A and B are shown apart, each in its own frame.
Chain A
């Protein structure tokens, strides 16, 4: 299955969303949170994100969602270092809806392209 990584400035936001996505999609999907800076501060750190990517990676690709601003930059910096072998994809998607959509698509056995597309398509989804 495609792994999902949730990058947030907030430890609680990343972990809370990971718990929600896992509850909806099922625990068989690896949804890994990467949130917070050193010592409980708000922020993102490359090592935390990279470790989450490594945990999420089952060999079928990883979709990474970021909350805002420098979360995106942290992920981009990691990917530009070339440590991922091309199957880690940062998607431009709403954080909550994108995570849920991606996790469900992954749990349904869809591939990296389909999971990434579901996350990005979440932008157009109405809540009710």
Chain B
């Protein structure tokens, strides 16, 4: 499932890094965010300048760090909260939402 909720809140940003965007997106039921899928997710995040985090059950990880993403231990079907802050934040979240929904084992 793709983004079920999206927000765009420039006023939320306390810093000058740029606009903040946040979406939630669910992992495919049969795909955990581990190994190759996690690497594909991280590689997508790295393409953007924005600071990007991924939250799972209250734990938040740097989406550009494979070790941080692996440590989330997100299993298939888990809802990920993606937050991006920077000039290309909306584009980063669009790309990550597409990446997540297209992940395969």
Q: How many interface residues does chain A have, given as a range? A: 20 to 34
Q: Count chain B CB atoms within 10 A of each CB in A109, A121, A125, A127 and give the residue with the most.
A: A125
Contact of B67 with A108 in the complex, beta carbons under 8 Å? no
Contact of A122 with B67 in the complex, beta carbons under 8 Å? yes
Instruction: Mark out the residues of chain B between 20 and 69 whose CB falls within 8 Å of any chain A CB in the assembled complex.
Output: 35-36, 38-39, 42-43, 46-47, 65-68
- The secondary structure that dominates the A interface is helix
Give the residues in chain A near B68, CB-CB below 8 Å.
125
The minimal Cβ–Cβ distance linking A115 to chain B, given in whole angstroms, is: 12
Contact of A108 with B42 in the complex, beta carbons under 8 Å? yes
- Chain B's closest residue to A98 (CB) is B67
The verdict on A24 contacting B71 (CB below 8 Å), with A104-B42, A107-B39, A108-B43 known, is no
CA distance A107 to B39 in the complex (A): 9
Question: Is B102 engaged at the interface, CB distance under 8 Å to the other chain?
Answer: no
The minimal Cβ–Cβ distance linking B83 to chain A, given in whole angstroms, is: 20
Contact of A26 with B39 in the complex, beta carbons under 8 Å? yes
Contact of A24 with B39 in the complex, beta carbons under 8 Å? yes
Give the residues in chain B near A67, CB-CB below 8 Å.
none
Instruction: Mark out the residues of chain A between 90 and 128 whose CB falls within 8 Å of any chain B CB in the assembled complex.
Output: 97, 100-101, 104-105, 107-110, 118, 121-122, 125-128
Give the residues in chain A near B46, CB-CB below 8 Å.
105, 108-110
CA distance A116 to B47 in the complex (A): 18
Contact of B71 with A125 in the complex, beta carbons under 8 Å? yes
Give the residues in chain B near A23, CB-CB below 8 Å.
35-36
CA distance A127 to B67 in the complex (A): 7
Contact of B71 with A104 in the complex, beta carbons under 8 Å? no
Contact of A101 with B36 in the complex, beta carbons under 8 Å? no
Sample 19 A-B pairs with CB under 8 A, ordered by A number: A23-B35, A24-B35, A24-B36, A24-B38, A101-B65, A101-B66, A104-B39, A104-B66, A107-B39, A108-B42, A108-B43, A108-B47, A110-B46, A122-B67, A125-B67, A125-B68, A127-B71, A128-B71, A128-B73
Closest 3 CB pairs of A and B: A125-B67, A104-B66, A108-B46
